[in-house]
């Protein structure tokens, strides 16, 4: 590693820990309450919420996987972001008023008025799904770290995980959100820098390279010769975003931890437009890379397009900027990982194991943090065996997201019409039906994976409606 690159990366890491340390009051301490630890005592500002939402959804899959998507295909991935505008508007206007200030987690809100069995079960299903989907993102972020340091990718994975683990311990959600603001700025800066550096290295203008990619249909967002694909992308984005940003504790806590309901509503809605901008920024990096490799040989030691941008950075970027790009990938990875750890700790503490023996909350936070971090590391290791990391990470979540959304809609939004006991049986049945419907879509109908959330949501809701009618008659 060049000394200047090392200095840039070290400065970033040091700044992250400094921010977390400052938020904690200058000393390692446990929070005084679970609300302080997991909801930042409802003190988040509009800016903190919106930046943290973006930083959480933009993982290393965005930094490395989205350029790979454009390199292999086109800009059609933006369809999901466009559909998300309506999805987040629904979350802001309908979901948030039902959950803001009603509980520590959204799963506690779902379970109000029922025994703890269903709450524990839905928290468990959510946690398994989250660990698998984020584990993929964690591995993708370790690719560039390993390339930069000249070490095995698993060493890079261990270092990234360890750093995130330690600073997440320091200051709870407030520290996570404050560092997310910095991390958002760093990875967006890295994307912008790539737009200047790739044309400079190729000795072509930015316009020439984008025009070359456009002539090959690499910049197409919509392909109207395949209308069903366009419809699937747009509609898939609506419901998929409702399931991620509306009922995923990881995102929900950024809104329920806000100073007011109105600020939280503005934050989630306007974040959709920033998401589109960030998506286009990194898809364009993929288009530039495609144009570059039309006149340069593809590197023989790169296994697939997921590794291409990382290889390009390490091979071609000058000292200093190379360190900035590594810091950008670290920022994208750590901002996703830290929020996931905090959300899963909240779910484990509040929903899955709420009646543990009495100890300080700080003790459980450390124990839960270690357990969840090890689980994420294990999944990240296993995900190294697969190609197409971007779609893999999204598809894993799409299998269970619909069932969770269906449970929330039936239990919280339609509770006046369909009353049922939030029990282990009702939750397991909803998930079983949701997963079966997704299997039918993907394996029997050979349908687009964007429809998974629709199939899962519909099947879970049908089951719970029938379940409520049967219970009513009994």
At 228-251, the pLDDT tens digits run 777 877 887 788 889 889 999 989
Does 136 fall in a domain? yes
Does 398 fall in a domain? no
Counted domains in the chain: 1
pLDDT category at 123 given cuts 50, 70, 90 is very high
138 pLDDT above the threshold of 70: yes
Q: Write down the mean pLDDT value for the chain.
A: 84
Bridge partners for 44 per DSSP = 258
Tell me, what's the pLDDT at 317?
86
- The parent domain of residue 58 ranges over 3-388
Please report where in the chains the tokens 């994975």 appear, as a residue: 157
pLDDT category at 473 given cuts 50, 70, 90 is low
Does 194 fall in a domain? yes
Q: Global pTM?
A: 0.86
Question: Is 395:452 a contact under the CB 8 Å cutoff?
Answer: yes
Tokens at 181, concatenated: 């603001």
- CATH of residue 141: 1.20.1730.10
Residue closest to 63 by CA, chosen among 329, 383, 278: 329
Residue 262 φ/ψ region, left for φ over 0, alpha for ψ in the -120 to 50 degree band, beta for the rest: alpha
Cα–Cα distances in angstroms (integers) from residue 337 to residues 29, 160, 166, 271, in the given order: 21, 9, 12, 19
The C-alpha atoms of residue 178 and residue 193 are separated, in whole angstroms, by 24
pLDDT category at 262 given cuts 50, 70, 90 is very high
Residue range 150-163: mean pLDDT, rounded? 80
Return the ∠ at Cα 386 (arms to 380 and 388), rounded to 5°: 105
The C-alpha atoms of residue 154 and residue 170 are separated, in whole angstroms, by 25
Tell me, what's the pLDDT at 392?
61
Tell me, what's the pLDDT at 390?
47
Does 101 fall in a domain? yes
Does 424 fall in a domain? no
> What percent of the chain shows pLDDT beyond 90?
34
How does pLDDT run across 277-329, given as a tens digit for each residue? 999 999 999 999 999 999 888 887 776 777 788 888 888 888 888 888 888 77
3-class DSSP string for the chain? CCHHHHHHHHHHHHHHHHHHHHHCCCCCCCCCCHHHHHHHHHCECHHHHHHHHHHHHCCHHHHHHHHHHHHHCCCCCHHHHHHHHHHHHHHHHHHHHHHCCCCCCHHHHHHCCCCHHHHHHHHHHHHHHHHHHHHHHHHHHHHHHHHHHCCCHHHHHHHHHHHHHHHHHHHHHHHHHHHHHHHHHHHHHHHHHHHHHHHHHHCCCHHHHHHHHHHCCCCCCCCCCCHHHHHHHHHHHHHHHHHHHHHCHHHHHHHHCECCHHHHHHHHHHHHHHHHHHHHHHHHHHHHHHHHCCCCCCCCCCCCHHHHHHHHHHHHCCCCHHHHHHHHHHHHHHHHHHHHHHHHHHHHHHHHCCCCCCCCHHHHHHHHHHHHHHHHHHHHHHHCCCCCHHHHHHHHHHHHHHHHHHHHHHHHHCCCCCCCCCCHHHHHHHHHHHHHHHHHHHHHCCCCHHHHHHHHHHHHHHHHHHHHHHHHHC
Does 401 fall in a domain? no
Does 432 fall in a domain? no
How does pLDDT run across 158-201, given as a tens digit for each residue? 888 888 788 777 766 777 888 888 878 888 888 899 999 999 99
Does 100 fall in a domain? yes
């Amino acid at each position: 590693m060049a000394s200047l690159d090392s200095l840039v990366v070290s400065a970033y890491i040091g700044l992250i820990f400094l921010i977390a340390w400052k938020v904690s009051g200058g000393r390692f301490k446990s929070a005084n309450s679970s609300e302080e630890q997991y909801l930042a005592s409802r003190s988040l500002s509009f800016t903190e919420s919106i930046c943290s939402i973006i930083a959480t959804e933009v993982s290393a899959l965005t930094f490395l996987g989205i350029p790979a998507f454009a390199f292999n295909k086109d800009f059609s991935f933006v369809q999901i972001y466009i559909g998300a505008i309506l999805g987040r508007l629904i979350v802001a206007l309908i979901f948030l008023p039902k959950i803001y200030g009603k509980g520590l987690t959204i799963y506690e809100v779902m379970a109000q008025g029922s025994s703890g069995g269903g709450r524990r079960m839905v928290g468990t299903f959510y946690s398994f799904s989250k660990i698998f989907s984020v584990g993929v993102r964690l591995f993708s972020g370790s690719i560039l770290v390993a390339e930069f340091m000249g070490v095995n990718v698993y060493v890079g994975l261990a270092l990234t995980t360890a750093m995130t683990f330690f600073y997440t311990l320091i200051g709870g959600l407030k520290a996570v959100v404050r560092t997310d603001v910095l991390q958002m700025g760093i990875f967006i800066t890295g994307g912008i820098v790539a737009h200047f550096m790739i044309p400079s290295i190729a000795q072509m203008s930015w316009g020439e390279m984008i025009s070359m990619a456009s002539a090959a249909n690499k910049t197409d967002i919509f392909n109207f010769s395949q209308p069903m694909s366009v419809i699937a992308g747009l509609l898939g984005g609506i419901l998929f975003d409702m399931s991620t940003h509306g009922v995923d504790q990881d995102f929900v806590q950024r809104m329920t931890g806000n100073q007011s309901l109105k600020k939280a509503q503005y934050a989630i809605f306007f974040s959709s437009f920033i998401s589109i901008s960030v998506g286009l920024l990194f898809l364009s990096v993929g288009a530039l890379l495609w144009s570059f490799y039309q006149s340069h040989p593809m590197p023989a030691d790169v296994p697939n397009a997921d590794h291409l941008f990382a290889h390009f950075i390490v091979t071609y970027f000058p000292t200093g900027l190379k360190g900035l790009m590594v810091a950008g990938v670290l920022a994208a990875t750590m901002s996703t990982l830290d929020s996931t750890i905090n959300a899963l700790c909240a779910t484990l503490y509040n929903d899955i194991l709420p009646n543990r023996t009495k100890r300080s909350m700080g003790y459980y936070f450390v124990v839960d943090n270690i357990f969840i971090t090890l689980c994420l590391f294990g999944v990240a290791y296993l995900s190294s065996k697969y190609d197409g990391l971007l779609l893999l990470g999204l598809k894993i979540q799409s299998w269970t997201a619909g069932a969770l959304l269906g449970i929330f809609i039936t239990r919280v939004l339609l509770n006046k019409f369909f009353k049922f006991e939030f029990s282990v049986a009702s939750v397991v049945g909803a998930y079983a039906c949701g997963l079966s419907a997704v299997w039918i879509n993907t394996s029997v109908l050979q349908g687009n994976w964007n429809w998974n959330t629709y199939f899962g949501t519909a099947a879970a809701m049908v089951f719970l409606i029938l379940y409520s009618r049967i219970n009513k008659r009994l």
